[in-house]
Amino acid sequence: MSETSATDRWAAPAMRTRLRRRHAAERRFRRLGAAAVGFAMLALALLLTSIAANGWSAFLRTRIALDVTYSPDVVGELSTLPPPEMAVASSQTDWQALVRNALLREFPEVTGRGPLRALQALVSPGARTRVRERFLADPSLAGRTVTLEVPADDELDMIEKGLVARDLAPEQARLSPEQLGWFATLEARGRVHRGFDASFLTSGDSREPELAGVGGAIVGSLLTLIVTLAVAFPLGVAAAVYLEEFAPHNRWTEVIEVNINNLAAVPSIVFGLLGLAVFLNVMNLPRSAPLVGGMTLALMTLPTIIIAGRSAIAAVPPSIREAARGLGASPLQIVVHHVLPLALPGVLTGTIIGMARALGETAPLLMIGMVAFVVDVPGSFAEAATALPVQIFLWADSPERGFVEKVSGAILVLLAFLILMNGAAIALRQRFERRW
């Protein structure tokens, strides 16, 4: 009787209507979820496509081939000096004169101070540096003529890449018709070449867009992350072990745990203010140095490592501890020999995620002075340096059009760093993870 009544109840029109509504609601929820995921993937694809479309050209550079003659009246007696003295004396040599003579060889009809200045503007100020470095590498070039590829001006570089139109209105164009004509002549003569710019990844910052690179920012970020890892990882793991394994469960421990969770949500600029007050004003550490930047970011990363470490330690089955305790192991031996090795995948994953967040932070580094214009690549933890996010911030604020592609190119480098770090986290978890 009960089975028949239950069957009749499920077969009732009202019940069928409710079931259809329930199934329809479930289908709508699934469609909404799929649409949300699709929208997120589309937005991510658009973002990456936009950055890649604007940034790929940053890895290319336009060069102009010039026949440079190292005339004795310019290089003088440099070739007879020992290398150390030659490097010092070369700073007083008029290398720009050699660049100007090479350009005049291509356009001998150009005369007058104004036209000569406009002609020299076809090449970057870094051209004379290229001429000087070539001579220092081979002093036997004195009196000889050699073909050198020197960087073109940033505006010509963008025109060659198709980022700026050649026929702009006079009020928008930054090059005169004469300069565009000279450049077209050099192109017709096969003097203009475009290729991969390795110096973008190795050189430091510059006021000239065609010479600016992210090499200094990459090294600065690496040095900063090394300091961050060296400070935050041992302190974070030690704090997680103590709070999870040894700390008594009382009111003070609860207060500490609540504060750690709150610190994980504190805006990053607050940690920058703390680093400014403690490391610079109190401890008098060098300003704009990766040492200070790493210690400041370590303060910001500590809560993340502690929370992730505690979760990983708590996930270790109690049977592991009980078995080790039954064999006579001390509490410290249980943690060091059994708990920590098993919790290591989770600890490392949380650490790398915290480091990835630190890599993308800008506000704390701005507060401690790592926003300074740094040309040289830093060679130690105490030298002035900048970081990739700060370099992007500086270039985005520059008025030159050539820095637009540099910003996108630097973002691509930063994204590559983040992908590598997240990939390392996934690889470490798969390498050490054990399923219970």
For 114, counting Cβ atoms within 10 Å of its Cβ (0-12 exposed, 13-18 middle, 19+ buried), the class is exposed
Residues 220, 239, 246: CA angle, nearest 5 degrees: 165
What's the fold here for domain 215-432?
MetI-like fold (1.10.3720)
Tokens 């911030």 appear where? 393
Nearest partner of 361 among 351, 371, 372, 374, judged by Cα: 371
Q: Where are the domains of the chain?
A: 2-56, 59-199, 215-432
Q: How far is CA 225 from CA 351, 367, 371, 392, 423, in A?
A: 11, 17, 17, 18, 17
Mean pLDDT for 409-436 is: 80
Query: Is the pLDDT assigned to residue 356 strictly greater than 90?
Result: no
CB 150 within 8 A of CB 124: yes
Q: How far is CA 423 from CA 222, 236, 265, 266, 430, in A?
A: 17, 22, 25, 27, 11
Nearest partner of 66 among 110, 122, 20, 15, judged by Cα: 122
Nearest partner of 351 among 419, 305, 299, judged by Cα: 305
> Would you state the pLDDT for residue 33?
93
Q: What's the gap between Cα 246 and its chain centre?
A: 40
pLDDT in tens, 278-315: 998 899 888 889 999 999 999 999 999 999 999 989 88
Q: What's the gap between Cα 347 and its chain centre?
A: 24
> Would you state the pLDDT for residue 377?
86
Query: Is the pLDDT assigned to residue 175 strictly greater than 70?
Result: yes
Residue 245 to residue 335: CA distance in whole angstroms: 8
CB 360 within 8 A of CB 410: no
DSSP state of 146: E
pLDDT in tens, 3-18: 556 566 666 777 778 8
pLDDT in tens, 234-266: 999 999 999 988 888 888 888 888 888 888 888
pLDDT in tens, 114-141: 889 999 999 998 899 999 999 888 888 8
Nearest partner of 216 among 207, 206, 225, judged by Cα: 206
> Would you state the pLDDT for residue 239?
92
pLDDT in tens, 16-65: 788 888 888 999 999 999 999 999 999 989 988 888 888 888 899 999 99
Half-sphere exposure of residue 111: CA atoms within 13 angstroms, side-chain side: 1
Tokens 């390498």 appear where? 431
